Amino acid sequence: MNSLGNIIGEICKVVLPIKQEFYIGNTNSQIAICTLASISLLDDLKDSEILSKVAIIGRLFSENKGIDNMIQYVYQNKNIKKIILCGKEVWGHKSGHSLLQLHKNGIDENSRIINSTSPDPYLTISKNAIEHFQKNIRIINLINETNFGVISEKIKIS
């Protein structure tokens, strides 16, 4: 399944090219925003004043490499304390659901995200990075929320 997933991923890169995965904002901020599969939301947020109020705005398409990259970034940038998880889920992957399950339950002995319903929720990131994520990051769950005003308000009250 993993090699088939990699092949499909490479095809998607050609058919649906995405110019940017993330945008760096105010590196002193404790807030990160993940727009999941909502690329237009990512573009709207990065073109607004919000980028100056958050450390990073990015997307999350996959329940494996994408989560690995996100956890590694948070682990290396320990000033981040909150992730606003918003936007639409990736059909079939449920990367947002997997991120929430990782935060709540961790991984099993096979590095599989416990209770994930995603098709390939296996991580390669270190257990230390996962533990840091679980203990030090607060996730604000706004999955399926794409309203700019609602997301902006969460940044103000977070």
List the domain boundaries for the chain.
21-157
SS3 breakdown of the chain: % helix, strand, coil, rounded to 5?
45, 15, 40
Give me the pLDDT at residue 1, please: 46
pTM for this one? 0.86
**Which letter does DSSP use for residue 55 in this model?**
S
Q: What is the reported pLDDT for 21?
A: 84
- Given this model, what pLDDT does residue 91 score? 80
Max Cα-Cα span within the chain: 43
- Coil vs helix vs strand at 43: helix
Dist CA 51 CA 46 (whole Å) = 5
Q: What is the dihedral of CA 81, 133, 43, 38, to 10 degrees?
A: -130
Cβ(64)–Cβ(38) below 8 Å: no
pLDDT of the residue at 19: 53
Please tell me the predicted confidence (pLDDT) of residue 5: 55
Q: What is the pLDDT along the chain (158 residues), one digit of tens a residue?
A: 455 555 555 555 554 444 558 999 999 999 999 999 999 999 999 999 999 999 999 999 899 999 999 999 999 999 999 999 999 998 888 999 999 999 999 999 999 999 999 999 999 999 999 999 999 999 999 999 999 999 998 887 65
pLDDT of residue 137: 98
CA 69 to chain CA centroid, nearest Å: 9
On whether the 21-157 domain is CATH 3.40.50, my answer is yes
pLDDT of residue 92: 82
Report the pLDDT value the prediction gives residue 17, as an integer from 0 to 100.
47
Helix (H, G, I), strand (E, B) or coil at 109: coil
